[in-house]
Structure 1
């Protein structure tokens, strides 16, 4: 490949706009699906946790396959772009149906959600894996990948703010099942905007001839799993994804049952995402000075401090809880920028070493891990609710016992803080630097 360190602004924006789709789908099920199941359909917390977890667990198997398929796609538009449109449209349609369960027996309603969420997860795999694979092929510059990820994470943060803040408002404005149906359609429209913006916006991106890795999928997965820095980065990211998933699942419960006033869920979301919109470039600048690994550690520590402060939600003024969530948001921005910029570095080193590209397999494994973590988060949170004696209902308000309120609070705060600290045990051994990576994508 010819080195092309600087990408046109239009390509950066076009690529980053795909985060409108990924951010919407990555946010709304984690935020809204568990409360939909427990508080509207009346499904018990443990069963609801399984429904949220199982379809995304399927992606752990599917994502590497999607990566392998996109690696071997031959198309004048490039190996990745065709999948953005095909899978993106399917994702929007199935997502609109996810929250549109007709009135049936509780078991049939649960089956509806399970099947539609499985369809969403399948479509998402074939959109997200090629999308995440693109940066390693758009540029071979270590720093340009960080800049590209800065645009992506900034748009992702804006999307999370827009989708996460507006979804509860849309639901509550209408109320009940109809509120969830309207919210699902509105979010599906957002997904379509992201899909077509990314597809059209990258039409002038460099189209590079990439030689896919040789051997079977199993052989390539074995090689990817043996890459030590990638493995350490992946484990760190997956554990943190569990933490983020638990916090996301807890927002509606904390707002409704602990903070206890209308609009608290939207305020929590604004506090969480607002700092990310402002500070994502600052994290990228810090990473350029101290290195991506050190920046990642710093962001993780900031997130932990904010999460621990949020554990006072049952006794502290609401303003203190919101301030704690702002601090979580500051850390979260960095925890998205750095690993997403470090992933293509690890893939580029592999490409130099092997003489062929396995970026699709790398991103397939990465996306599978992220999906698993984000699915485990709500599942773990649902287990905490069950242990605390949380009472499900079919649309009516039920007073929760003190044990359930404690579970809601600790599952949102202390649990994610402990998981984030645990993840740093693997990150400390990550060793790739700019000298190891820059200019290595030479296939």
Structure 2
């Protein structure tokens, strides 16, 4: 198979940039924004995030199935990316915009905005993930696509984690509206940047995804998802993804609290924590890819996440003045998150091939929808528990929480993060997705469809 054009490979990263900018801003700063800027309690923030992620978990399989069934001359996935662009920009801005609502109005406003944002996110992100499996069937090319995607994820996460903290004061002063106006303006900057990446992927992938023009099959309804779940490999991979990404949800929500209230850093320094995490992740990225090429994706996942779990537990130790240990753990721990991203996305594409062999249908959307469901269902639980834990510990915002609240933050950042990795490690250890396995699947598919068949052809 011919390698993908460079513009397509690098343009594919734009969709992940679009997700990472706002997903990181949401998971790392939204709870903090509600408690320390808007003045809402942590329970409201945790509830809004839980409701949104739970809705997202329900919506994702349906969107995946719809994109599988979509038939047009422009492909199956591209139209979804374009349709989501404007709603995604608007709702991303609203996440960090406070209209001065209080009481019941505020309690309704933020959950509704979160629901709308997750809807627009899902409409583009599930088809976007499925698009990656359709652009190439080559094992190494898919790992390369996953690596590019992860690189853009890290770069987008840098903007999402740092820009609101770095810009809200400057923009608030410039616009003469204070802190809340500054946060809204910083949210607009992130929203526009994210949407630009989404449009880049839509533009560069046009004409590259296979066009499927035959009528939709009745079997590609809701029962198709249940049929896919009969696959032991897919069930294990869903566990890998769900419990690999759950620690990122905990760490993302708690890191700023840990930096400010446990380490004693100012907000500006707290933004450097996220900067260090994401930049060091980019440095680890080629290492992860090289290891995956050598020992396989599932073994790479087990290796890196096992080390990550140990490192995360060590966050029980640092406090004010223990800067060297704290920064060392940040630098080393980011390798695990890179391994989760690269290996997880790469394995998903290979599982989609296996499911085509088993069911006789291309079903990337359904596979990615189920994967997104598994990730966000666990994320809903994780984020909700973080909000409940902070509320139970008596955290109510401000510059000086009591000892109980600081202890809760420390436990969440350490053991409360590491424990979520254990089920994923167990699942990955039982998966066999090697280069040889993939080659065998592709040979059998070629025998079924003919040696010149493309992905998506029947």
Could you tell me the TM-score, scaled by structure 2's length?
0.91
Q: Is the 8 A contact 1:5 1:140 kept in 2?
A: no
Identify the residue that residue 353 of structure 2 maps to in structure 1.
348
Residues 276-300 of structure 1: CA deviation (Å, up to 9, x unaligned): 2122122111111101111111120
User: Do residues 202 (structure 1) and 205 (structure 2) align?
Assistant: yes
Q: Is the 8 A contact 2:72 2:211 kept in 1?
A: no
The alpha carbon displacement at 1:382 in A equals: 1.4
Q: Distance in 1 between matches of 2:188 and 2:294?
A: 43
Q: Distance in 1 between matches of 2:6 and 2:34?
A: 42
User: Do residues 217 (structure 1) and 218 (structure 2) align?
Assistant: no
User: Do residues 253 (structure 1) and 257 (structure 2) align?
Assistant: yes
| Higher mean displacement: 178-187 or 205-214 | 205-214
Do the aligned partners of residues 427 and 241 (structure 1) sit closer, same or farther apart at CA in structure 2, a change above 3 Å counting? same
Q: Distance in 1 between matches of 2:38 and 2:68?
A: 41
Matches within 5 A, 1:101-140: 101-140=98-137
Identify the residue that residue 416 of structure 1 maps to in structure 2.
417
For the residue of structure 2 that corresponds to 1:340, the secondary structure is: helix
Match of 2:248 among 244, 250, 255: 244
What is the Cα-based RMSD across aligned positions, in Å? Answer: 1.8
Q: Is the 8 A contact 1:170 1:179 kept in 2?
A: yes
The alpha carbon displacement at 1:376 in A equals: 3.0
Q: Distance in 1 between matches of 2:363 and 2:403?
A: 51
Identify the residue that residue 327 of structure 1 maps to in structure 2.
332
The alpha carbon displacement at 1:80 in A equals: 0.3
Q: Distance in 2 between matches of 1:431 and 1:5?
A: 27
Q: Is the 8 A contact 1:244 1:377 kept in 2?
A: no
Identify the residue that residue 375 of structure 2 maps to in structure 1.
370
Residues 249-299 of structure 1: CA deviation (Å, up to 9, x unaligned): 012211221122222221111221112212212211111110111111112
Q: Distance in 1 between matches of 2:217 and 2:301?
A: 30
Count of residue pairs the alignment pairs up? 436
Q: Distance in 2 between matches of 1:235 and 1:429?
A: 11
Do the aligned partners of residues 136 and 114 (structure 1) sit closer, same or farther apart at CA in structure 2, a change above 3 Å counting? same
Residues 65-119 of structure 1: CA deviation (Å, up to 9, x unaligned): 1111111112222110111111122111111122212112232123111111110
Q: Is the 8 A contact 1:306 1:324 kept in 2?
A: yes
Do the aligned partners of residues 206 and 50 (structure 1) sit closer, same or farther apart at CA in structure 2, a change above 3 Å counting? closer
| Higher mean displacement: 285-294 or 217-226 | 217-226
Q: Distance in 1 between matches of 2:83 and 2:208?
A: 19
Q: Distance in 1 between matches of 2:217 and 2:126?
A: 16
Listed as ranges, the gaps of 5+ residues in structure 1 are none
Listed as ranges, the gaps of 5+ residues in structure 2 are 173-177, 446-454
Q: Is the 8 A contact 1:271 1:323 kept in 2?
A: no
Identify the residue that residue 52 of structure 1 maps to in structure 2.
49
